[in-house]
Amino acid sequence: MSQFFFTLTNPESEPLLKKELSIGYPNFKLSYSRPGFLTFKGPDGGTFAPWMCRLSGTCLGKKTVEELNSLPKAWLWKRLESFNPPPELVFLSDKSLFKIGEKVTLIMMVGENEYWLGEYIQKKTHFQTPGEVSSIEKKEVPSRAYYKIAEAFESFDLPMEANEKVLELGSAPGGASMFLLDQDLKVFGVDPAEMDKGVLSHFNFKHIKKPFETLNVGNFAEDIDWIISDVNLPPSVVIQEVDRFLSFLEPRGVVLTLKLHQDRYLRMLKPIVESYKQKGFTQVELKYLPSYRQEICLIALK
Ligand SMILES: C[S@@+](CC[C@H](N)C(=O)[O-])C[C@H]1O[C@@H](n2cnc3c(N)ncnc32)[C@H](O)[C@@H]1O
């Protein structure tokens, strides 16, 4: 017996998702797909939770509007913003709420007149939005990194507290710093590149205008509560550098955006998770965030 599964991902990471499936789910075969919506045929009862997608679950097939109208509750996700779903489906979605642990019924509007139905369990780290789209309000920010850290903050409910100190590796131009400063955190931004002027002049921001490899224990007079990074370097380099900082700093949490510009980096993820568990971090998780391209978020909390 076989079963179908769906994934919703950002089109930039589709090749990585396919690669992940070929490595981690060799018995699953790509079935119907459109950009951002991929279905797979797999063994019945198999666990299916790939990393490189915003959302995955059981696929119940293509449905007509009449079939969907009879659902007691369901969320509606549109593949393209320009799609015009019938008002009754919009109404059904708008009045539907799903609690953590509950099975979500998701209508996926894949084309103007094409609807697919899926199911998944609502997790604590899921957003309360159909299709796991970002719930962060758009505003003028120095970089996309603002949304990435804001989404990590919301999704993992990061226990960051006012006045805690954050070491940000690769902080320019300053999107992530802006978000952290908005949360009343103190930010030490390490980057040889220029910072956004508003971030630079913030009373809680200190720019360490150097490559992070040049820093050592002597640069830190104060304790650091969090290490975050979104540098454009291979995961092995980032992990090695963060490990070096962990040899003399004792943060309560680490939040890393790991760039997966090569397929082979996918194989590093499981060992990285294990290594953080061995370092004494009790919650270690990976999540593909809505604003991501070819990257993944690793959080490790003590
Ligand atoms: C994707 S950007 C970071 C975005 C930034 N976090 C933000 O919120 O706007 C990557 C940054 O990493 C920095 N970077 C690369 N190698 C570095 C190194 N060895 N030390 C410090 N920063 C580095 C680059 O200068 C670049 O500004």
Q: Average model confidence (pLDDT) for the chain?
A: 96
Tokens representing 126 are: 């899921």
- Mean pLDDT within 117-124: 96
Q: Which CATH number covers residue 15?
A: 3.30.2130.30
- Mean pLDDT within 277-299: 96
The reply to whether ligand 1 has any atom less than 6 angstroms from the CB of 232 is yes
Tokens representing 81 are: 């913003």
The reply to whether ligand 1 has any atom less than 6 angstroms from the CB of 50 is no
The reply to whether ligand 1 has any atom less than 6 angstroms from the CB of 241 is no
**pLDDT tens-digit series, residues 22-43:** 999 999 999 999 999 999 999 9
Residue 139 lies in a domain: no
Q: Residue 247: its pLDDT value, please?
A: 96
Spacing, Cα 230 to ligand 1 middle (Å): 7
pLDDT range class, residue 142, cuts 50, 70, 90: very high
DSSP 264: G
User: 62, 97, 132 — which closes off a domain?
Assistant: 132
Distance CA 117, CA 102 (A): 16
**pLDDT tens-digit series, residues 78-119:** 999 999 999 999 999 999 999 999 999 999 999 999 999 999
Q: Residue 95: its pLDDT value, please?
A: 96
pLDDT above 80: residue 1: no
Residue 133 neighbours by CB under 8 Å, 6+ apart: 54, 77, 127, 290
- Residues 297, 154, single domain; the answer is yes
Distance CA 37, CA 7 (A): 6
**pLDDT tens-digit series, residues 158-204:** 999 999 999 999 999 999 999 999 999 999 999 999 999 999 999 99
Q: Which CATH number covers residue 236?
A: 3.40.50.150
Among 140, 232, 294, the mutation site with the greatest number of ligand 1 atoms within 8 A of its Cβ is: 232
Spacing, Cα 289 to ligand 1 middle (Å): 19
User: 102, 132, 162 — which closes off a domain?
Assistant: 132
Contact call for residues 302 and 252 (beta carbons, < 8 A)? yes
- Residues 103, 182, single domain; the answer is no
Spacing, Cα 254 to ligand 1 middle (Å): 16
- Mean pLDDT within 264-290: 96
**pLDDT tens-digit series, residues 35-72:** 999 999 999 877 899 999 999 999 999 999 999 999 99
- Mean pLDDT within 232-255: 97
pLDDT above 80: residue 19: yes
- Residues 179, 251, single domain; the answer is yes
The reply to whether ligand 1 has any atom less than 6 angstroms from the CB of 116 is no
Spacing, Cα 35 to ligand 1 middle (Å): 30
- For residue 234, whether the previous peptide bond is cis, meaning omega lies within 30 degrees of 0, is no
The reply to whether ligand 1 has any atom less than 6 angstroms from the CB of 190 is yes
Residue 41 buriedness (CB in 10 A; 0-12 / 13-18 / 19+): middle
| Domain around 88 | 2-132
pLDDT range class, residue 6, cuts 50, 70, 90: very high
Tokens representing 109 are: 């509007």
φ/ψ bin of 101: left (φ > 0), alpha (ψ from -120 to 50), beta (otherwise): left
- Residues 123, 270, single domain; the answer is no
- Residues 97, 204, single domain; the answer is no
- Residues 178, 294, single domain; the answer is yes
Residue 38 lies in a domain: yes
Rg (CA), the chain: 21
User: 81, 111, 132 — which closes off a domain?
Assistant: 132
Distance CA 27, CA 2 (A): 10
Residue 13 lies in a domain: yes
**What is the pTM (predicted TM-score) of this model?**
0.94
Distance CA 211, CA 143 (A): 20
